[in-house]
């Protein structure tokens, strides 16, 4: 049983609503507080690489970083200076609107699927804000019916970024499953795991490892509709070949 509180009507999940509105609502790292996205607790300041920080989708806010967040990260001065365009930070709502403009310019559902997951690869807060605010438009793309085509084409869509893969466990991993699970990031915070063996994917038959698209879609649905924080979910594909 998973304990989670679904957002009330008209509200967004906690991880999205806490980043709504003007970017001035983001807490400044000058005070030693957690900064961005789905970061859990304060971030260590020792040897933080700004490029790696921006490449982490759970921390990156792109053009929404405030002036203070760009200048200071703990005792690191000018932390993101030069890595982002100058100018006033964009609010989350503004970024959602810009993203949806691009979304509607995509012609096919699979193009929209790839576009949304590209956002998820770079800025998880923005991804879930889009799904929460534009559920009717985005959910048929992230999950059924488009996820069926995504599974059929998974081998050509596969990225090494987080949104496109989970844990792939096969017969070759017998004797090593425990070590695989122990290496999973945030493993101590996982509350929900979605498994698939890829054998019965939406009536499409046995798709093997390509069936990973189903857990990816389901977990996006659980976060958007049930308010389960992304750090509490995991996905796995079991292969018996």
| Active site positions, annotated | 143, 218
Q: Which tokens in the block code for residue 95? A: 């970024």
Beta strands in the chain (DSSP E): 72-73, 76-77, 167-169, 192-196, 233-238
Q: What are phi and psi for residue 91, nearest 5 degrees?
A: -75, 165
Sequence-distant (6+) residues with CB within 8 A of 137 are 100, 103
Q: Residue 198, class by beta-carbon neighbours within 10 Å (0-12 exposed, 13-18 middle, 19+ buried)?
A: buried
Judged by DSSP in three states, 155 sits in helix
d(CA 45, CA 91) in angstroms, rounded, equals 25
Sequence-distant (6+) residues with CB within 8 A of 50 are 73, 79, 80, 83
d(CA 99, CA 174) in angstroms, rounded, equals 43
Q: What are phi and psi for residue 173, nearest 5 degrees?
A: -95, 5
């Amino acid at each position: 049983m998973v304990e989670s509180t679904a957002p009330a009507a008209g509200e967004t999940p906690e991880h999205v609503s806490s980043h709504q509105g003007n970017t001035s609502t983001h807490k400044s790292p000058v005070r030693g507080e957690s900064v961005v996205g789905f970061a859990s607790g304060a971030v260590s300041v020792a040897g933080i690489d700004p490029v790696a920080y921006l490449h982490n989708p759970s921390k990156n806010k792109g053009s929404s970083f405030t002036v203070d967040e760009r200048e200071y990260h703990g005792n690191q001065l000018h932390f993101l200076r030069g890595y982002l365009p100058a100018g006033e930070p964009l609010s989350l709502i503004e970024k959602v609107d810009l993203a949806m403009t691009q979304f509607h310019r995509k012609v096919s559902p699979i193009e929209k699927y790839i576009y949304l997951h590209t956002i998820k690869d770079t800025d998880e807060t923005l991804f879930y804000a889009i799904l929460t605010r534009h559920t009717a438009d985005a959910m048929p793309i992230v999950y059924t019916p488009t996820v069926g085509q995504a599974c059929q084409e998974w081998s050509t869509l596969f990225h090494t970024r987080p949104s496109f893969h989970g844990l792939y466990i096969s017969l070759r991993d017998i004797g090593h499953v425990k070590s695989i699970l122990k290496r999973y990031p945030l493993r101590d915070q996982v509350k929900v795991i979605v498994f698939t063996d890829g054998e019965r994917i939406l009536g499409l038959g046995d798709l093997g490892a390509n069936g990973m698209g189903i857990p990816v879609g389901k977990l996006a649905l659980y976060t958007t509709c049930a308010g389960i924080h992304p750090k509490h979910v995991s996905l796995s594909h079991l292969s018996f070949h």
